[in-house]
Each structure stands twice: as structure tokens, then as C-alpha cells.
């Protein structure tokens, strides 16, 4: 069964004032990547804060020649079609449904982890990955977080 796993990076947490600066969606079949990937760095309408640059490693220079999310929205919709999307936290869901009108069902793996493992000290993705012995190659980059989430999904048998 195909599963689409998504992560976004943004200029902040306000879905109406902040912008998506990176998005990655990968298609998996039986927890193996199928090579179908939508991955894009995006130009924000406002400057990146030092906090976001430090967190993601994404710089203004990396985004100067990129397009705005509105210019790739249609391509993303064609890629994911009406498929359910796996995410880690409801952030992507809120951003894409409330701001951009996406109609997909979003499956929040974080809520599943909280139900199955109510004793964790926190539910940051890195903490949960460590619980399962998963060592991410990179974090706070959309592609790396999608891969980490897919490994977590495999451990959870999702």
C-alpha cells in the first residue's frame, strides 16, 4: 500500500503570517521509498530569522532564486492527489488545509506515538527516534525529517 510522508520547514509557526521555505513528500510502498519524491526549497515573502537559519541551516542565499509556494502548489496537489498524508504533528495539516485549502486527510504520527507511549519525557521527533534507536542523518530539513518519520512509521508498523 502506498503511503505519502510529508514534512515542511517554515519561517515560523504562524500559518497565516509565516511562509513555507522547504517541503518534501516521499511516496513509500511497504515502507520502501519508491523514488517518487516532491522536494522543493521555496522563497519566503519575509526574511529568515537567525533562529530559523540556525535551526534548519537554510540561508537567504539558498532561497533567493527559488519560487514562492503559490507557484508550486498545483504541482504538489498533482503529486499527492487525494492520498492521505503522514506527518509528525498537525503543523503541516493546519498550514496546508487552513491556509492553502488542501483537502487531503493528514495522519498525525505524533498523536499515535502519544497514545502508545504516554511516558516519554517529551515528544520531539528526535526524542521519539532515540527511543527506537533511530539515528537521523539530519533534522529540521524536510527530506531528512521525512526519512526519519518513515523509519519511525516502520517501527510503529504503520
Tell me the pLDDT band of 138, cut-offs 50, 70 and 90: confident
User: In the chain, what percentage of residues exceed pLDDT 90?
Assistant: 89
Domains of the chain listed by start with CATH number: 2-156 (3.30.420.10)
Neighbour count for residue 60 (Cβ, 10 Å): 11
Q: Quick check: 100 pLDDT over 90?
A: yes
Residue 32 has what pLDDT?
Answer: 67
| pLDDT surpassing 80 at residue 85 | yes
pTM listed for this prediction? 0.94
- CA contacts within 13 A on the Cβ side of 74: 2
* Cβ atoms of residues 136 and 148 within 8 Å: yes
The pLDDT of residue 81 is above 70: yes
Amino acid at each position: 500500500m502506498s503511503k505519502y510522508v510529508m514534512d515542511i520547514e517554515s519561517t515560523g509557526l504562524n500559518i497565516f503570517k509565516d511562509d513555507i521555505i522547504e517541503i518534501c513528500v516521499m511516496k513509500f510502498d511497504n515502507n520502501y521509498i519508491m523514488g517518487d519524491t516532491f522536494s522543493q526549497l521555496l522563497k519566503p515573502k519575509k526574511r529568515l530569522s537567525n533562529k530559523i537559519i540556525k535551526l534548519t541551516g537554510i540561508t537567504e542565499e539558498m532561497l533567493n532564486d527559488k519560487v514562492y509556494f503559490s507557484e508550486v502548489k498545483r504541482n504538489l496537489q498533482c503529486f499527492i492527489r487525494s492520498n492521505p498524508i503522514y506527518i509528525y504533528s498537525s503543523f503541516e495539516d493546519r498550514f496546508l488545509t487552513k491556509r492553502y485549502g488542501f483537502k487531503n486527510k493528514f495522519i498525525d504520527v505524533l498523536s499515535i506515538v502519544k497514545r502508545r507511549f504516554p511516558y516519554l519525557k517529551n515528544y520531539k521527533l528526535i526524542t521519539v527516534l532515540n527511543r527506537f534507536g533511530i539515528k537521523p542523518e539530519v533534522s529540521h530539513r524536510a527530506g531528512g525529517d521525512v526519512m526519519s518519520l518513515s523509519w519511525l512509521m516502520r517501527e510503529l508498523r504503520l
